[in-house]
Amino acid sequence: MNISKQIVGYLHSRALVLASIETCTAGALSAMLADVAGAHACLDIGVVAHTSTALAGLPGTLAQAAEGDAPPGEPLARALAEALLAQRAGHANVALASIGWLAPEHEGGAPATHSFAWACMHRGAVVSASETVLFSGRRAELKRSIARRALLGLPRFVDATLARDASAS
């Protein structure tokens, strides 16, 4: 089974609706999922921003999360995922942020760091997690790898959140 079908099936099985924000993958996350039949029921919004100026120009809480010259990294990714979740309350119940910039030198395969964050509402509170990963490869390979990592991190995050409840019982 391909990753897109796996993630759409996962979202359906848990009644999750996803909101996403991504930078260098140029909408690949949303496109990968939207290609799956029936995905419309588990997708809310996909935001693409290509620069930090674009992030700061987003409406409302998203702009507040991206204010200043915050470099891409886990704090920014987490703030954006949490803000997107808050902004889409009533529409989406899980959010992911995939934040990083690919510079011209990445065309030749230079390593690139990328930060991810996932957020969901759980027991009336926002729960989030983040990670930063070093990727290498040519630009197109980097984009594919980043999109795959973002999507595969979603079930890991949700399952880990639910497992904390099970272990506390």
How confident is the prediction along the chain (169 residues), in pLDDT tens digits per residue? Answer: 599 999 999 999 999 999 999 988 889 999 999 999 999 999 999 999 887 778 777 776 666 666 655 567 898 899 899 999 999 999 999 999 999 876 665 566 667 889 999 999 888 889 999 999 988 888 788 889 999 999 999 999 999 987 876 665 5
For residue 89, the SS3 value is coil
The pLDDT of residue 73 is 84
Whole-model pTM: value is 0.87
> In the numeric block, which tokens belong to residue 152?
């595969």
Distances from the Cα of 91 to the Cα of 4, 41, 45, 114, 148, angstroms:
21, 11, 9, 27, 24
Give how far the C-alpha of residue 114 lies from the chain's centroid of Cα atoms, to the nearest Å: 11
- The full set of domains in the chain, from first to last, is 3-168 (3.90.950.20)
